[in-house]
Structure 1
Amino acid sequence: MADVIRSKKPSTHRHTPEGGAPTAAHSAAEAAEARIDVAGVTAMLLGTWAEARLESREMIKDPAFWQIHGQPMPEHRERVLGQLHAFVAAEAAGRAYPVEYGGKADNGGNLASFEELVLADPSMQIKAGVQWGLFGSAIQQLGTESHHEKWLADVRTLALPGAFAMTEMGHGSDVAAIGTTATYDVEAGEFVIHTPFRAATKEFLGNAALHGRAATVFAQLITGGVNYGVHCFFVPIRDENGQMLPGVTSEDDGVKGGLNGIDNGRLAFDHVRIPRENLLNRYGDVAPDGTYSSDIPSPGRRFFTMLGALVQGRVSLDGAATTGAALAEYIAITYANQRRQFDSGTGTDEVVLLDYGKHQRRLLPRLAQTYAQFFAHDQLLRTYDGVFSGAHDTPDERENLETLAAALKPLSTWNALDTIQECREACGGAGFMAENRLVDLHHDLDVYATFEGDNNILLQLVGKRLLSDFAAQFKEKDAAALARFAVGQTAGRIFHGAGLRTLGQSVADFGSTARSVELGLRAEQQHELLAGRVEQMVTDIATALRPASKLSQAEAAALFNEHQSELIEAARAHGELLQWEAFAEGVAAIDDDGTRQVLTWLRDLFGLSLIEKHLAWHLINGRLSTQRAASVGRYVDRLCARLRPHAQDLVDAFGFEAEHVRAPIALGGERARQDEARAYYAAQRASGTAPISEKTLRKQAAAGGR
């Protein structure tokens, strides 16, 4: 049966069962609208290091790199180890390392190519990250030339597989409080690495259970009876035959909720001795006589500088989570454009899932979120490369990088889980089948929300930076300037709280919701609402915490704890603002008219979805009138309907090939089933052998009795 002739506008017919819209345009061509330049958008989303991403995608088209659904854990672990050896053979390992050790000194390209591995098998990606991004980078970033000479080349070739031993059973995100000690023995010229109690056991370490031969161990450096805080040490743990070295104990974590291709385990040390030279001493050193020295006199600054040198984990998780969400959206939206459910009751074809308004609402705002993340991540990656290439390596730029990574990684990893789950449900039972990848993808990316720091703790770091920046505005200001600020704040509170702004909106909006939207929810107003929310939240928290300076330490801590949730929410709002701004900058740089128009709608959908999510806050704080607030949801619906014909183009622009998708429902399997069913019923009708329905029989009988 031929496709139903479709109108150029989405249907508003109220009698379509289940809210379906069988006349909705399925493509921009059918809608006679501007279309995006798919190849051009793909190039934008691939970003600054597009070539590195494409090289990685080409490599993982080989089935040898693909995850095997349901593979037993032991076999999966060995398969992933073999895949890492294949990386080495393909010269795809250690791209960020110096050229003299076999690398390419390409920091941005290294992370870009690494992030794409999530398309093949997240276990493979994370194990690669452990080997070359954590273990190897600790040596590269925290060690000096002698350490590089000893170990980097072997790390790159996997001749020296290793673990990154930071997290402990008793301390995860609070690295400064770890219990492992490294006590210097002056007479022997050695450090003694020791696990003093069970909670100090190193935990969740990739390569610890089976494959690692050494570990970069974070421990409290003690010399001359003084604890100089956390430093990193190179500690051998197994011999060349895989046997544990004396004093080192390994335990296998066993089956996890996901990422079971990685041999995660625990490490404990019983007075294990290592040479003094195994201290990775870029930021702090111990002389043979036990004297400690550092170019960074502040213990706190030294600690954060060392951790900041390892920020690439957070950066790469932001990118990998975004790619994972994009894969889920490609599967779900492609399926929704082919799967049919419920007919219109008029003998037409069943309705395609994406024609339903609720289905659009489920998927398209999340698609807009993922686009925003692609743009924001490329900015983050450029900042990272600028710092680690040395082009923009300043203390301020390092602090900006750390804050940006801590703001974006929580949002993208949380969004990946939310998106994958919604996509799974949107695909019904088919989404629950392992072959369609969504369930495994959710399991494997679940831990991304606590990798490299719990998301809430990272946002707290961002919140503290926001408070610090707020306080810096008043440094060295005189009393008159502070008084003017206080008056301005009071005036602002009256202005918002008393509804003066909302009254003005109501007058402007009178009689026209559509006009309300056009007047008050354009790009400038979206930015004003998003930025204004951050500013007011930070101001309110800073004001509430002002008495802390006059309180005891315990009382000040209690006061901070009262406002911790508000601070984290302010940091989250700041991250959302950064993503919106990155999206807006990306749209502004587009030359093609059709692409710019469609991505402007998508940017607006992202911004208005954020405003809708926080609508109560905007109403309570007088930022929106009731009438304009009511229009936000309706405009989100309008944007979803407007973007519906472009949905396939927008996910096609991710640039995934069949070898990257590997989900039958998104690779023609569902379309083939639907075409077969439609052809079957069409043939029945054409031959006159189709049975009539009971309802039709009753109608005929009723007509005959009149």
Structure 2
Amino acid sequence: MTLDDAHRTDLTRLVFDGTYEQTHADIKEALLDPLFDAREGLTLQEAGRLAYQRSRFLHGKVARPTEAVRAPRRLFALAEWPSLLDVSTFSLLMVHYNLCFGTVLERGGDRPDLRDQVDELDGLESFGPFMATELGYGNNVASLRTEAVYDPADETFVLNTPDALAQKFMSYSGFTDVPKIAVVMARLIADGKDHGVFPFLVRISDENGLCEGVHAAPCPEKPVQGLDNGVTWFDHVRVPRRGLLLGDMGSFADDGTFRPAAGNQRKRFLRAMSRIQPGRLCVSSSAVGAGRASVYIALRFAAQRLTNAPGRPDTPVIEFRSHQAALFPALAKAYAMTFLLNHAKREFLTSPDDIGPDLNNLISVTKALSTWEMTEVVATCRERCGAQGIFSVNRIADYGSLLQGLVTAEGDNQVLLATTAGQLLARRDEGPATPAPDPDGRDVLEPALHAALLGYREDSLRRAARAAMTDGPEGQTYFDAWNGNVNKALAMARTQGVRLALECFRAAAADARTDEVRHALGLLASLYALTEIQRDAGWYLARGALTARQVEEIPARTDDLCARIRPYVPMLIDGFQLSPELLRAPIAADDYVAAFQQVAGAEPAAAGRS
């Protein structure tokens, strides 16, 4: 094994948490098939049809839903790779595998009366939408209005959409000739009582079109993603009683009376929506994969793209500190979010069926921080690639569209982070306040100082927000107290995520098996920390946690870090297990000019014939 091979192996182990060969390699190999070559000139509908074809291909080549749901790392890998070549294929697979089929498997997979539909979904004979969000109820899914009224006379439910606010929104119902069996979240009404929201398995369409009583209209077009998102509503659709995916959330007595399980409606609803948690890790996996691919493409292009420098003609743009100051922190963020996500996945795998408050908060913070950070990374990479970054064939612009959706998917980021912040503020188990670190005589590149600063900011924001809510003016309502401090609470929750990410980054660097990888990751971790500290430098300065001299020197120290990181860049992006052959992005090729000429049909020989 060469030294380069040793570095690549070491980084691959860290990036993929030791699971690359058994979990990721065959998915990457499947994506090399010509079916995933870029297609120019497709309408959005044609692109959507292609996504269904590609999804069927991966289903046949890689894993059936049963296998993926029962092996969550496999599910996360399926979220990570396909979106690099087709963001719509990623969306289809995740909704079918995780949200729809995962719910069916958890709530009724062992029921003999559902075997035919379970097999149909597992074999992808029918696609499985997940219908929760309604036109009038976005993140407030627990208040949705679609009704399933039990009729004991024939043991069926009457599924109905009472008004426009209750129309199901964004689920895949636009291609009415594609067979689909959906999980529909609806209010179970039996014995004249509203028992809360439960999942129902409902056939939406077959090869002949929508089923009786099911109506759908396509949503307006979205950039890049050509999927058949639609608005769906039900007109007194009869659903057999077997369609209720109860699991352990209730039962019917012999006389047809519904008996909900112990607990309140909200607890039962959260159990019914349990696939949202692994779904958030899937969303983060896709986001982080897109972020890594963006920096891979942008840095390979920067190493070839020539420009004039003072006294040095034909200098690669990557040699400019201004270019490094944009792309190297993007590389650091991609690694930081990779290691934070690996940590969240490991924690989830220890108790996937019993997600407590701490794990729930970790997953929410990871989803919010990773998708926001990768949105910034992708935007930076697109910009630094100039006009080439605009073309879909060079991938990065499409990743930008993907990230816009991921910020909202499986829970809007701001809502997730606010919910997490509220739960953190509600805890009363805090000890002594974290003191401000004494900055005198300390180097701003000192890892211990980075950890102390972030820990101090997190604790201070939490205490300040809690005190303001508790000690507000007389007559202050809870909403007024929360609304007056929500932005402080959001900053606190975000800082917690950054602190955790940096801890994971440092741990990964320490776990490296080669000196070069350990040193390079250490430098990159310091760049990530310094970038985050600079973001709130005024806050630290005002509280005496940094001196004016230290704040002023951060830009120069960042420049110096970039110069020290520069020799390690090829090695660092090599650990992502990406390749020009996989991504098919001309500007990532070994000769980007020739690759772009070929794609554009601008090769000299071709030009001479025109």
Q: If the length of structure 2 is used for normalisation, what is the TM-score?
A: 0.91
Q: Is the 8 A contact 2:44 2:225 kept in 1?
A: no
Say which one has the larger Rg: 1
Partner of 1:268: 233
Q: Aligned match of 1:222 in 169, 189, 211?
A: 189
What whole-Å deviation, never above 9, does each CA across 1:643-679 have from its counterpart, x for those lacking one?
11211221122111222221112202336699xxxxx
Q: Aligned match of 1:75 in 35, 46, 49?
A: 46
Asked whether 1:561 is paired with 2:483, we answer: yes
Partner of 2:15: 45
* C-alpha distance 395-263 of structure 1, shift in aligned 2 (>3 A): closer
Question: How many residues are aligned here?
Answer: 590
Q: How does 1:197-596 map to 2 (within 5 A)?
A: 197-210=163-176, 211-238=178-205, 240-260=206-226, 262-287=227-252, 289=255, 291-345=257-311, 348-388=312-352, 393-396=353-356, 399-468=357-426, 470-473=427-430, 505=439, 508-509=440-441, 516-517=442-443, 520-547=444-471, 555-596=477-518
Q: Is the 8 A contact 2:107 2:247 kept in 1?
A: yes
Partner of 1:135: 100
Give, in angstroms, the shift of residue 440 of structure 1. Answer: 2.1
* C-alpha distance 186-405 of structure 1, shift in aligned 2 (>3 A): same
Structure 1: runs of 5 or more not aligned: 1-28, 99-104, 474-484, 510-515, 675-706
SS at match of 1:258: coil
Whole-angstrom CA distance in 2 between matches of 1:385 and 1:395: 10
* C-alpha distance 321-169 of structure 1, shift in aligned 2 (>3 A): same
Q: Is the 8 A contact 2:12 2:576 kept in 1?
A: yes
Partner of 1:640: 562
Partner of 2:530: 608
Whole-angstrom CA distance in 1 between matches of 2:513 and 2:83: 31
What whole-Å deviation, never above 9, does each CA across 1:499-532 have from its counterpart, x for those lacking one?
xx6xx53xx34xxxxxx42xx5411111111122
- Report the identity percentage: 26
* C-alpha distance 655-127 of structure 1, shift in aligned 2 (>3 A): same
Whole-angstrom CA distance in 1 between matches of 2:520 and 2:223: 39
Which amino acid in structure 2 is aligned with residue 435 of structure 1?
V
Give, in angstroms, the shift of residue 591 of structure 1. Answer: 2.4
Q: Aligned match of 2:145 in 154, 179, 183?
A: 179
What whole-Å deviation, never above 9, does each CA across 1:250-271 have from its counterpart, x for those lacking one?
11124212321x2111210112
Whole-angstrom CA distance in 2 between matches of 1:534 and 1:226: 45
Q: Is the 8 A contact 2:179 2:207 kept in 1?
A: no
Whole-angstrom CA distance in 1 between matches of 2:279 and 2:384: 31
Structure 2: runs of 5 or more not aligned: 597-610
Which amino acid in structure 1 is aligned with residue 162 of structure 2?
P
What whole-Å deviation, never above 9, does each CA across 1:410-444 have from its counterpart, x for those lacking one?
22212222212211111111222332222222123
Asked whether 1:92 is paired with 2:63, we answer: yes
* C-alpha distance 577-294 of structure 1, shift in aligned 2 (>3 A): farther
Which amino acid in structure 2 is aligned with residue 589 of structure 1?
D
Q: Is the 8 A contact 2:156 2:238 kept in 1?
A: yes
* C-alpha distance 466-447 of structure 1, shift in aligned 2 (>3 A): same
* C-alpha distance 324-254 of structure 1, shift in aligned 2 (>3 A): same
SS at match of 1:660: helix
Q: Is the 8 A contact 2:173 2:218 kept in 1?
A: no
Asked whether 1:658 is paired with 2:541, we answer: no
SS at match of 1:162: coil
Q: How does 1:93-172 map to 2 (within 5 A)?
A: 93-94=64-65, 96=67, 105-143=70-108, 145-146=110-111, 149-172=115-138
Whole-angstrom CA distance in 2 between matches of 1:441 and 1:231: 34
Whole-angstrom CA distance in 2 between matches of 1:310 and 1:395: 11
Which amino acid in structure 2 is aligned with residue 133 of structure 1?
N
Which amino acid in structure 2 is aligned with residue 401 of structure 1?
L
Which amino acid in structure 2 is aligned with residue 471 of structure 1?
R
- Supply the RMSD in Å over aligned alpha carbons: 2.5
SS at match of 2:210: coil
Which amino acid in structure 1 is aligned with residue 231 of structure 2?
R
Higher relative contact order (CA 8 A, sep 6+): 1
Which amino acid in structure 2 is aligned with residue 109 of structure 1?
R
Give, in angstroms, the shift of residue 292 of structure 1. Answer: 3.6
Whole-angstrom CA distance in 1 between matches of 2:429 and 2:415: 23
Whole-angstrom CA distance in 1 between matches of 2:456 and 2:194: 45
Which amino acid in structure 2 is aligned with residue 45 of structure 1?
V
Which amino acid in structure 1 is aligned with residue 326 of structure 2?
R
Whole-angstrom CA distance in 2 between matches of 1:405 and 1:70: 39
SS at match of 2:533: helix
Partner of 1:599: 521
Whole-angstrom CA distance in 2 between matches of 1:91 and 1:321: 21
Q: Is the 8 A contact 1:122 1:445 kept in 2?
A: no
Q: Is the 8 A contact 1:284 1:292 kept in 2?
A: no
* C-alpha distance 242-568 of structure 1, shift in aligned 2 (>3 A): farther
Whole-angstrom CA distance in 2 between matches of 1:621 and 1:277: 62
* C-alpha distance 207-87 of structure 1, shift in aligned 2 (>3 A): farther
SS at match of 2:405: helix
SS at match of 1:308: coil
Whole-angstrom CA distance in 2 between matches of 1:212 and 1:405: 33
Whole-angstrom CA distance in 2 between matches of 1:35 and 1:81: 37
Q: Is the 8 A contact 2:26 2:62 kept in 1?
A: no
Give, in angstroms, the shift of residue 148 of structure 1. Answer: 5.5
Whole-angstrom CA distance in 2 between matches of 1:537 and 1:602: 27
Whole-angstrom CA distance in 1 between matches of 2:211 and 2:114: 23
* C-alpha distance 647-361 of structure 1, shift in aligned 2 (>3 A): same
Give, in angstroms, the shift of residue 375 of structure 1. Answer: 1.2
* C-alpha distance 294-462 of structure 1, shift in aligned 2 (>3 A): same
Which amino acid in structure 2 is aligned with residue 64 of structure 1?
L
Whole-angstrom CA distance in 2 between matches of 1:247 and 1:550: 54
Whole-angstrom CA distance in 2 between matches of 1:112 and 1:184: 40
Q: Is the 8 A contact 2:589 2:595 kept in 1?
A: no
